[in-house]
Structure 1
């Protein structure tokens, strides 16, 4: 793939940012990425894949061989399959509409719990299900039988063959003999139980129903007798008529008593109005006594005493009526005593006889009114009692009518069932004499010779589980990995073109030279006579190989360009490019010569702090040296001047960068790593192209992304990423196929 060409000249900031991201769509995930992840995590992949497989292999050795047995029964329709329905109902004597329902009924008999338990008991639950027997123990045989029968219900398959009258019985067991014996015993027990159900002269259902009806009739008769005894009524209609007549009579008396009470109230009110207008005493002109008033009071007392004697005969002493007459009698006696105590004025005053007569009438009317009110209360009590008796009679009548109706229905049903029993006796006798059996065993269970097991299925499932688990592990490792292991992954993460240098090729000088030669032709910098192309090589962290790549790339460029090439070393600490070439690589690069006399303003590249200048410290001294007779020139920073200058920073002046034009065709900048200092970011906006160096399995993704973003934010143009130390995890045989 060809990377974009470095931009000649200083483009706008926005244009340079857009160029840094105009590298095309990242490569999609493919087979190479998958194989890379697999072989990179080969130890984990093998462990993850083999654990389920080994577990499946181990489990397959413990899986028993299962033997299947099958038996088939043919159901023939006969009169015994006629359903009588509910006796006494409209559906009496109706038959099944479809033979399928008959076959289903026979299948239900086969599925009955009693048959399963009998078959289990015949063979022995500990032989059929030894694991269940081992878990329960010999001390609880009933629980063992129940559990074995429930397990048999799960294992036994009773199916209806479609569109036929055939029932298929399937069973599987590790023992072929037990499997065959169990099915045959189940069929034998089924035929026996079926014979008991259908061949009884008086069917059990009819007999039980007759007994039940008889018991219910006796129960209804008992309840009717109890109801008569409880209510004391033998004829409900007569009792109801008597109570209604009594109620009407009491209601009439109540109305009459109410009218009398209102009339007495009116009379008393009229007398009270009259007596209020008559004086109690009158003037007497002759000597007279109170003989008449006294006689009247005495007559009133005698009348009240007679009334009390009459009431005492009807009511008990202390009742409300006796108390009221006693109160009236006390009032009359006090009046009498008053008359006796009156001392008459024989000359002027005396009692008014008219007043006394009216007062006596009021007293008599009040007594009569109270008597009527007492009668009215007694009538109300009698009405309440009669009404309650009517309600109780209604409840008793409802229960009585229901019991009578139920008895009629029960007697009718009993009569019909008795007739049905007689019919069934005759029909069963005829069928047993002339008809063939209705169930035919068309295939008995045979002892199987060959069994089956699921070892292959278990192994296949364990393999699938292993693959799925491995895929999940690979996916988790891939998304959680913080470093780069492939050039494609770096391209997707950084959205930049990536040039990969294999680990083996970066080890030897010749291989590294060939890789840099390939990188040069891929970048193809536009070399011109009137312009100096500036290319920056910078790494995120020390030790990623950016200085080695810059040196080798400069050597290749010097051989391809007909002009001077400058290797600009901006590292102010440690061994610089000049020292490495002079001490170790002079046989390949040539011996560094003396400082070149050029018009490049080397002292304007650096600036010291104002504090250092005030103290008389000098600016960093940098010189340029030609390597042998080649066109490659390397810069050298005097370490003594660096120590003397204190804090050293790159200058923001353009003087140095302008002085490069006319002296060099190409400048390769070996920038310090981003972690060491930020001089590389300062240079990025001066360079025509920047190449980021990241190390396989070492450079963290956030650090590489930070370096890319910082270069772009400083108006730099990132042309490519050099992926150094790439390892080929995929074997060569697979690479050839890819």
Structure 2
């Protein structure tokens, strides 16, 4: 017969609990069956209700074959000729392709092409949200329903998307695949074009600055083309020298002519004798004509009147006076002299005035030409001093322009190479495009099964908790079977 230590109740309790019979467990379940059923029914009812909430989803699947091209081959700098190309690991490559396929850019582009209002109308109708936020929420939901899985031991990627509408599910999958292919070409494109575009932009800025500096320098000094302007100024100065020499000669000739005419004018008298008459021929002839008229009148009067008639007497007195005047004039002849302005002096004075005017004009023209020649000479000296600076600006601009043209040529070559590389980097082929699914995938049974398991767990947990919290007594028969000794009374179980 075995004995046990009465001072160690924990060892007694553990031994008795370990040897509990199925009948005792059934009795405990029977006692707490109401609470255990409640612990099972409540979670089960909740999961049963939840199993009817999700809508069946139609899943469209597209298969992609990934071939390893030179985009996954690293070509180091081969200047020394010893570096060898290195290829990436297969698993890394396929995982990288999956990450590109599930990237936000790919999902945003697919959503933009299909339309948020078509894929998720409830999100599109949230007018209080901004377009960016609606796009973010829709992309997050697409990402949850999008699956990109690698088939084991193959280079195939399966892209699956679920949606309540089978047509939309197929459209989204195909647009995601198309966006993924475009995004992939962009990522694996050679960076040479982007670098050279930056170089071309920098040279454009430098060229614009050089043009601005040169234009500002020309505006400040009023110069368009130094060489052209210097040539014009030199030609103009040569012409000016010829005109100045001619003006000097004209001025000297004018001064000499004025001096000559002044001396001639001093020698020419102002007045000269114009006419000299030695007999008054005109007065005697008039007197004789008058005397003839008087005799004819006397004859007429004597034929009509007597000699003592006053008319006859008066006529005869006039005849005597005329005869006396004629005799006096013929007896004492006189000379008449006329003087006037010397026309030679007038002509000399006119020539002198003209000569002085021409001499003054020639002197003024000579002074003007001298000032112009001085200004041209000064401008030529200024341009000669500035020519070195403008030649430096032109050299700098030429260097920048040459660098710009060289980078433009390199950029064109790089773009051609990038385009060729993009065409050569299409190493992902579509095995199967996303088709319209016929059957929908429902999660009702899955939710129901999960609810059943959790409900059972809850029921067992409740039963165990109730058994621990309720004080009980071990039966005498159980203690006797466990210890193999007779027991007079029931022993309380130790918890």
| TM-score where L is the length of structure 1 | 0.33
Greater per-residue helix proportion: 2
| TM-score where L is the length of structure 2 | 0.46
